[in-house]
Structure 1
């Protein structure tokens, strides 16, 4: 009799279990990756909704109550300081409000402009760039007083080419450089971008507290109408300007203004949120 060797039965249960586990793991991983992809797509969509185009408000900004003061196409809402109309010397160029340099400083050109509405507590945001050797400013809480220029009643966020304009070396401790409270408080740190590049400016006014921000950093903080404010003004060239000391007047509110200092300067993405 011939004996055939016994064939050992293989245990196939364990490999099948392993294959099942691997399949389940791959399936779970695919589902997880799919969920992550969907989450990323949703996050990217939300990010796109929050990104505003030039001179536009994002969906988020609209929800937060921001208002555009300049649409990039018209001068609606703006007029000359002390005037009923928008002055010559200002134009719209590539989606920006531009003051055209006269070469004669404050003595020439179209003069300063203001927005039609007065604001009390607010956050103002805009972008600006300046020509070589250029000078300008952003006024706030300005009163419109017959026979008086705007700077006699309004604090000023300085705009300047810090490299070429002599004002950068005048005043005290750099208090005439970009984003400074002009001639009173220097912007620290001084982080203005070079001529020809866009800078972002922000001004917050809330119950007398004022903050200047430049390119994402807070660079000036002070408090209007306080004893310290009065002392600071009394020790400056503004000491005899009662309207400046009492910026905003009785109602503690005023106009937003852009300065014509005789140089080419551009402004865009001008928006405000009432606080």
Structure 2
């Protein structure tokens, strides 16, 4: 049974936007999470499924690696499986999850999708659009846990039709609206475009400091593996009292090596993703 080692780690984002200046100092000085305050680790099993050689994917002069070629599912597979669920398809140069209307991972052959390579420090860019009333998410630092959903171990950048999905009015202060750190930090300003239009997202993760951008504006910043991160979890649906295993995995998200998979969520609705690329910051 794998035990996850607690590390306190946060750092300055390379080229961080000006408003992050105060946050950088906070990240550097954030106290470590006290491991003695955490209860015994609930039992779980990590999967060991095939990964891909990232060097075989196109890379441009600026270091951006194409994760989706607009034609095939090369490099992608289902979460906790070796093939691509049939609920996912390539449609008009985008990855499309066909809405089942059956809720989260409710399709006959659905479930979340992951790119089969673990990432540590990176900038991820992509575009998404949703059908009316649709819900999805972008996960990062996923650990594949046997018998458990992807979101049990991974922070989520929310994908949502804010105007027509009820989740937009749940949570606290809009922290379930698009590009929010789901159920923890609201995206501000909330500048998403309505259903049927493309939204651009960038997620920057560097030594524990994470920033979400939506339509070219920074909207979320936080620091993994710090007291701030623990407090966010304590106040969320993933708290130790509500969901002990999720709390343990998220408190130590990324596992021993502080890395994990990137994933797209099947929430039972029609959602499209395109122009998916990543730059390594190691």
TM-score range, shorter chain: 0.7 to 0.9
**Distance across 1 between alignment mates of 2:279 and 2:81:** 26
Q: Which residue of 1 aligns with 2:156?
A: 156
Matches within 5 A, 1:43-122: 62-109=60-107, 110-122=110-122
Q: Which residue of 2 aligns with 1:210?
A: 210
Q: How many pairs align? A: 217
Q: Alpha-carbon deviation of 1:228?
A: 1.1
Are 2:224 and 1:224 equivalent residues in the alignment?
yes
CA offset digits 1:200-245 (Å, max 9, x no partner) = 0000000000000000000000000001111111121112221011
Are 2:238 and 1:238 equivalent residues in the alignment?
yes
Give secondary structure in 1 for the equivalent of 2:230: helix
Q: Are 2:105 and 2:112, in contact at CA under 8 Å, matched by a contact in 1?
A: no
2:263 corresponds to which of 235, 257, 260: 257
Aligned Cα RMSD in Å? 1.2
Which of 1 and 2 has greater Rg?
1
**Distance across 1 between alignment mates of 2:195 and 2:275:** 18
Q: Are 2:105 and 2:266, in contact at CA under 8 Å, matched by a contact in 1?
A: no
Q: Which moved more, 1:229-238 or 1:171-180?
A: 229-238
**TM-score w.r.t. length of structure 1:** 0.77
Q: Alpha-carbon deviation of 1:62?
A: 1.3
Structure with more relative contact order (C-alpha pairs < 8 Å, separation 6 or more): 2
Q: Which moved more, 1:237-246 or 1:163-172?
A: 237-246
Q: Which residue of 1 aligns with 2:273?
A: 267
**Distance across 1 between alignment mates of 2:63 and 2:236:** 37
Q: Which residue of 2 aligns with 1:25?
A: none
Give secondary structure in 2 for the equivalent of 1:222: strand
Q: Which residue of 2 aligns with 1:141?
A: 141
Bigger fraction of residues in helix: 1
**Distance across 2 between alignment mates of 1:129 and 1:228:** 31
**Distance across 2 between alignment mates of 1:64 and 1:146:** 37
**Distance across 1 between alignment mates of 2:134 and 2:231:** 31
**Distance across 2 between alignment mates of 1:238 and 1:151:** 10
Q: CA, structure 1 residues 147+67, in 2 after alignment: closer, same or farther (shift >3 Å)?
A: same
Q: Alpha-carbon deviation of 1:134?
A: 0.1
Q: Which residue of 2 aligns with 1:22?
A: none
Give secondary structure in 2 for the equivalent of 1:184: coil
**TM-score w.r.t. length of structure 2:** 0.75
Q: Which residue of 2 aligns with 1:247?
A: 253
Q: CA, structure 1 residues 97+156, in 2 after alignment: closer, same or farther (shift >3 Å)?
A: same
CA offset digits 1:176-205 (Å, max 9, x no partner) = 000000000000000000110000000000
**Distance across 1 between alignment mates of 2:105 and 2:216:** 33
CA offset digits 1:3-55 (Å, max 9, x no partner) = xxxxxxxxxxxxxxxxxxxxxxxxxxxxxxxxxxxxxxxxxxxxxxxxxxxxx
Q: Alpha-carbon deviation of 1:107?
A: 4.4
